[in-house]
Structure 1
Amino acid sequence: MRIIRYFNGNELPQLAAVTDEDKIYALPYEDFLELVKAAEFNESTPLQHVQDVIQGAPLIPSPLSQLELLVPIEAQEVWAAGVTYERSRDGRNYESSTNHAEGPTFYDKVYDAKRPEIFFKSTKERTVGPGDTVFLRSDSTWQIPEPELGIVLDDTGGILGYTIGNDMSSRDIEGENPLYLPQAKIWRHSCAIGPTIRLAESVENPYDLRIICRIYRHDALVFEDAANTSQLKRKLDELARFLVRDNVVFNGTILLTGTCIVPPNDFTLREEDRIDIEIPGIGILSNTVKQQQPKSALR
């Protein structure tokens, strides 16, 4: 069972449930957390509650492709985990290869360490949804998407659902100095989430999800690669536990769980590129790319 957020006929945000048969039922909520609270009030799980509600809900006749989808949850905070896949570790090592001596790097060490790398990624004001535009940093010349499975958490670190995330990254900035990580990761429209939230109970095995990334330039496919969450070094609940440890985590927080798809080292995104990230069973998160303007040019 997937949950979408869309503009209804009155141009207001509304939730809907999408079944595995692609039938769409309107839900009487504007926000994903309203649904979660209603399930708790009824001493039910989100999936059971949705199944009960759609018994008498109207069927939306329009196909999913014709609905104006919004970011499925306006998460107050988005966090991300790094170096959770071997490919990510190798990519990070390449970025910083001119800046370290021979031998194990700190990326090698964190890949094998007990404590994962977890960093702050975005707020709801910086996050965009399906069909929206992601921005390139004006002071970076080497930028890529990072396709990731996102987990939607409650305030205890429990997993409510799964979504798709694009953790946009500036490889040159991070490679110059690891202390520049926040600037390499956080800027306007540097994070995309969507198009749906797959309720946790309806995912049989989160460690067997295929992630596919395609990048189009002038409508031509210039990059395609795929990975599987079976390649994930760490468990999802382990990442969530470290996030909530001695921390304040809000209901609906999203934790991106790392990437295993890294474009070739000579590749960088360009304006007007289109990024499609697909996880079958969740959907396709599609975003176009625009060049960020320096702040002085925005005044």
Structure 2
Amino acid sequence: MRLATLLIGGKPAAAAQLASGAWLNIAQAAAADPQTKVEADSLQSLIQGGDAAMAGVAALVAQADSGQHAHAVVSDAVLMAPIPDPRKNIFCVGRNYAEHIAEGEKAQNIKVGVTEHPVFFTKPPTSVVAPGGDVLIFPTISQDIDYEVELAVIIGKPGRNIAKADAFDHVFGYTILNDITARDVQRRHGGQYFKGKGFDGSCPIGPWIVTKDAIKNPHDLSIRLSVNGQQRQNGKTADMIFDIPTLIASLSEGLTLEPGDIIATGTPSGVGYAMDPPQFLKAGDQVVCDVSQIGQLANTVRNA
């Protein structure tokens, strides 16, 4: 199932995609069907509702596909980020594709290698950008704005010290994330990740969440990115160094993961700073991220 947040009447609304491609305003449909007990004022609340909430949504979608709830069907949707205001920072993984590590070593003339454990950092909620929204660049602060297409995991069930064998029990679904990075700011601050990756408008997410039942193997997806129609990144999630269960197990050690938490799983090779010569983003560029079985996330670069 595809779930999205739509902008309706100036307010966010949780929605599920119908067989026709139109969207069902879940809260509006649920209000007309008192037997379906679904708390869906947002995707966050829906995710927190767990299996019972999703069973209710499935029932509403089936009814709408058969012609009911016409008043709640939206055909001309404006998409927001699936979780527009994450309750916590977005968890991100660095150095999770061997070819990306290799291109970085070559570009910087350093030896990094594969780490023994995953490398984690975060991006703040203020960095989130909607599908079709603007990636912001700040020319007086950074000239080296880069891109990184990533598969993102949405947590559905809370847990701490999660075993690898149980990791997928805690997954709600998947979406696409573009980890926009100010490379020069990253270097300026000693190579640490947060500042150079935490700018406003530096984290496009979307266009929707695909529930985990619809993607049988998240480690068998193509993952690509283009700038102005030119392909820059072309990889496979099978090439992750640390797979999703390993990431969840490692991240949750002593740290509680909660419903709605977002984990970006790393990027393949082809980033701008590693090209010869480097190719950074500029105002007006069109960036399209593509992950098979999910869709496309497209954004425009704009000077802030």
Please indicate, yes or no, whether the TM-score normalized by the shorter chain is above 0.5: yes
Match of 1:132 in 2: 133
What is the aligned partner in structure 1 of residue 167 from structure 2? none
158-167 or 224-233, larger mean C-alpha shift: 224-233
2:234 to 197, 203, 226: 226
Structure 1: which amino acid aligns with 2:59? D
Change (3 A) 1:152 1:33: same
1:3 aligns with 2:14: no
Judged with a 3 Å threshold, the aligned counterparts in structure 2 of structure 1 residues 94 and 196 are, in CA distance, closer, same or farther, namely same
TM-aligned CA distance change 1:244 to 1:39, over 3 Å:
closer
Please name the residue that 2:60 is paired with: 53
Q: RMSD in angstroms over aligned alpha carbons?
A: 2.3
Q: CA deviation at 1:4?
A: 0.9
CA separation in 2, counterparts of 1:21 and 1:86?
A: 40
User: TM-score w.r.t. structure 1 length?
Assistant: 0.81
Q: Deviations over 1:245-282 (max 9, x none)?
A: 12243421111000004242421111111111122322
Cα distance, 1:90–1:141 mapped onto 2, change above 3 Å:
farther
Shift in CA distance, 11/142, structure 1 to aligned 2, threshold 3 Å: closer
Shift of residue 178, structure 1, vs aligned partner: 4.8
Residue 71, structure 1, aligned to residue 89, structure 2: no
Distance 1:206 1:168, change over 3 A: same
C-alpha distance in 1 between matches for 2:300 and 2:25: 28
- Residue of structure 2 in register with 1:259 after alignment: 267
Aligned residues: 270
Alpha-carbon deviation of 1:187? 1.2
Write the distance in 2 (CA, Å) between the matches of 1:248 and 1:21.
Answer: 38
Task: Please state whether the residue corresponding to 1:108 is helix, strand or coil.
Answer: coil
Give SS of 1:272's match: coil
- Please give the secondary structure, in 1, of the residue aligned with 2:154: strand
Q: How is 1:105-144 mapped onto 2 (pairs within 5 angstroms)?
A: 105=111, 107-110=112-115, 113=116, 115-123=117-125, 125-138=126-139, 139-144=141-146
Q: Tell me how far 1:162 sits from its aligned partner.
A: 0.2
Aligned 1:87-106 pairs, distance under 5 A: 87-97=99-109, 100=110, 105=111
1:121-170 Cα offsets, whole Å, 9 max, x none, are: 222x2211111111224332222110000001143272111000010112
Unmatched 5+ stretches in structure 2: 28-39, 163-169
Trace 1:242-257 onto structure 2 (pairs within 5 A).
242-257=250-265
Question: Which position in structure 2 is the counterpart of 1:15?
Answer: 14
Distance change (3 Å), C-alpha of 1:137 and 1:203: same
Q: Report if aligned partners of 1:149, 1:257 keep a CA contact under 8 Å in 2.
A: yes
1:153 matches 2:192: no
CA–CA separation in structure 2 for the residues paired with 1:246 and 1:189: 30
Distance 1:178 1:258, change over 3 A: farther
Could you tell me how far 1:87 is from its partner in structure 2? 2.2
Q: 1:162 aligns with which of 167, 174, 187?
A: 174
Q: Determine if contact 2:95/2:114 at 8 Å carries over to the other structure.
A: no
TM-aligned CA distance change 1:178 to 1:5, over 3 Å: same
* Deviating 4+ runs (over 3 angstroms): 37-40, 59-63, 172-180, 222-225
Partner Cα separation in structure 2 for residue 207 and residue 20 of structure 1: 26
1:31–1:54 CA distance, 2 compared to 1 (3 A): same
Contact 1:96–1:175 (CA under 8 A) maintained in structure 2 = no
Q: Does 1:194 align with 2:211?
A: no
Percent identity of paired positions between Structure 1 and Structure 2: 23
148-157 vs 68-77, greater mean Cα deviation: 148-157
1:79 touches 1:122 (CA, 8 Å); kept in 2? Answer: no
Q: 1:141 to 1:11 in 2, by over 3 A?
A: closer
Letter in 2 for 1:244: S
